[in-house]
Amino acid sequence: MLVPILVSVYILIALVMVISLLLNGVRPSKTLAWLLAIFTIPVAGGLLYILFGRNRRKSKMFSLKNQFGPINKLEHVTCHPEISGNKQKITFLINKTSKCPVTCYNNLDLLKDGKNTFESIFHALEEAKEHIHLQYYIFEDGLLADKLLEVFERKIAEDVTIRLLYDGIGSYSLSKKYLRKLKKIGVETAQFLPFKFGRFLSALNYRNHRKIIVIDNKIGFTGGINISDKYLKGDPALGKWHDTHLKIEGEAVDFLNRTFMTDWYLASGNKVDFSTFKVYRAPKIGTSLQIVPSGPDDDFDVMEQVYFSIINSAEKYLYIVNPYIIPNHAILQALMTAALSGVDVRILMSTSTDIKLVDWCVRAYFESYLKAGIKIYLYDDGFLHSKVMMCDDEIASIGTANLDNRSLQQNYEAQVFVYDSVLCQQMKSDFLKDCEKSIILEDYEKYKERPWIKKLIEGFAKLLSPVL
């Protein structure tokens, strides 16, 4: 008697899921895949859909843009970057989808690797007069965390307000002892979508991958570097971690702070009066850039659309540094089309990643790249964690977003798109130097003759690409 009841309940739940898919599904192929999983893998298929398949863009729980999101018109924002016409549309796209216009009164410093980045961060923290806002996907106990605690204690004694936001999954190892120390000295903390049973099924797959520091709404940092000692000591398995970060001074910092405050409100429930924050401008026109926050609360796949547009706009070269390139169909076709059209498309990544399954999935696309003429460079002097894209000496992208489904559609990310030929040429020079030190893959005929067992493993990993 119990079995028929359970079967009936599952069929009823499955029908509800089917209705949800038909009403909210975005891509027919994805919808069909989930329908097959629900009906061919009893129970497990339904659980996987609840965890990974639901469309959060329809959920009011995740939509807070009207509360704190960057607004479209600000008196201090009036500029147009000096880029070619076919790339001007990218600035309009970002403005339309993210409500983040181009800002020009900025000074920008490119920071390479942990040592330089943290030296700059700690120097800036010491200058704080009003507030320090920190937001990290990974915030770990260690030397860096202890040094931050010392700085926090001094600054709070100077009446500086400090707010720390950390992701519930990415910072799972952050100890309660350390959190108690923060609370004791007066640091306000909040955990983004914590690992709790009540929210487990609705929030597990939606993580806050942003790395942001804002000081007095005047100085901002963002990029790929987390609060982890491996950026100073290296990793036993992968060696030294290489990454790219940015220090921003000027009006663009206001948009970083708005992104932080939106996430802070979602995590803590506490709304801060944003009108009290003064907008600072660099003394003269400097670097043109746009801050692009993206996440499952957006009306569109913002990061995917911007990456797609940059790839399609490339005329001379497109250089990418990214550890997790697992492209969906649109991004893959754009990359291949660019290369087949004569654009110099190069991908630079480490010889291996920190997750073996992801490594197999990343390599599953190598054959397609090589067939289209895309050059692949494998860097073996440590782990490249940067998320960088450069195009035609006109656009450089630095931030937190990978080229995979998780970053493009599920995670909360923050990317900076810079329109500055000097910076682009500097980054291109660094890229080419790293390519010279790397192993190049460009022979398609040779690569496709790799052992069949590798092809089989890569093929299996590729099936999991939508959830990796």
Assign 219 to helix, strand or coil. strand
Residues 215, 205: Cα–Cα separation, whole Å: 30
Assign 399 to helix, strand or coil. strand
- 224, 415, 388: which is closest to 318 by C-alpha? 388
Per the annotation, the verdict on 209 as an active-site residue is yes
Task: Give the chain's end-to-end CA distance (angstroms, integer).
Answer: 40
Tokens representing 449 are: 């003759």
Give the torsion sign (CA, 35, 41, 46, 47): negative
Burial of 449 (0-12, 13-18, 19+ CB in 10 A): exposed
Per the annotation, the verdict on 428 as an active-site residue is no
Q: Which of 87, 131, 155, 216 is catalytic?
A: 216
Per the annotation, the verdict on 211 as an active-site residue is yes
Residues 36, 289: Cα–Cα separation, whole Å: 44
- Give 79's contacts (C-beta < 8 A, 6+ positions apart): 102, 103, 104, 105, 285, 288
Q: Which of 243, 387, 404, 420 is catalytic?
A: 387
Residues 221, 54: Cα–Cα separation, whole Å: 32
Residues 331, 315: Cα–Cα separation, whole Å: 17
- Give 269's contacts (C-beta < 8 A, 6+ positions apart): none
To the nearest 10°, the Cα dihedral for 419, 422, 424, 427?
Answer: -140
- 256, 254, 261: which is closest to 282 by C-alpha? 254
Per the annotation, the verdict on 380 as an active-site residue is no
Q: Which of 297, 298, 392, 404 is catalytic?
A: 392
Residues 104, 252: Cα–Cα separation, whole Å: 8
Tokens representing 338 are: 């660019």
Q: Which of 245, 385, 404, 420 is catalytic?
A: 385
Residues 251, 70: Cα–Cα separation, whole Å: 12
Cross-strand pairs, 188: 163
Q: Which of 87, 131, 209, 218 is catalytic?
A: 209
Residues 352, 16: Cα–Cα separation, whole Å: 41
Q: Which of 87, 131, 211, 230 is catalytic?
A: 211
Q: What angle do CA 399, 402, 404 make, to 5 degrees?
A: 155
Per the annotation, the verdict on 242 as an active-site residue is no
Assign 319 to helix, strand or coil. strand
- Please identify every residue annotated as catalytic: 209, 211, 216, 385, 387, 392
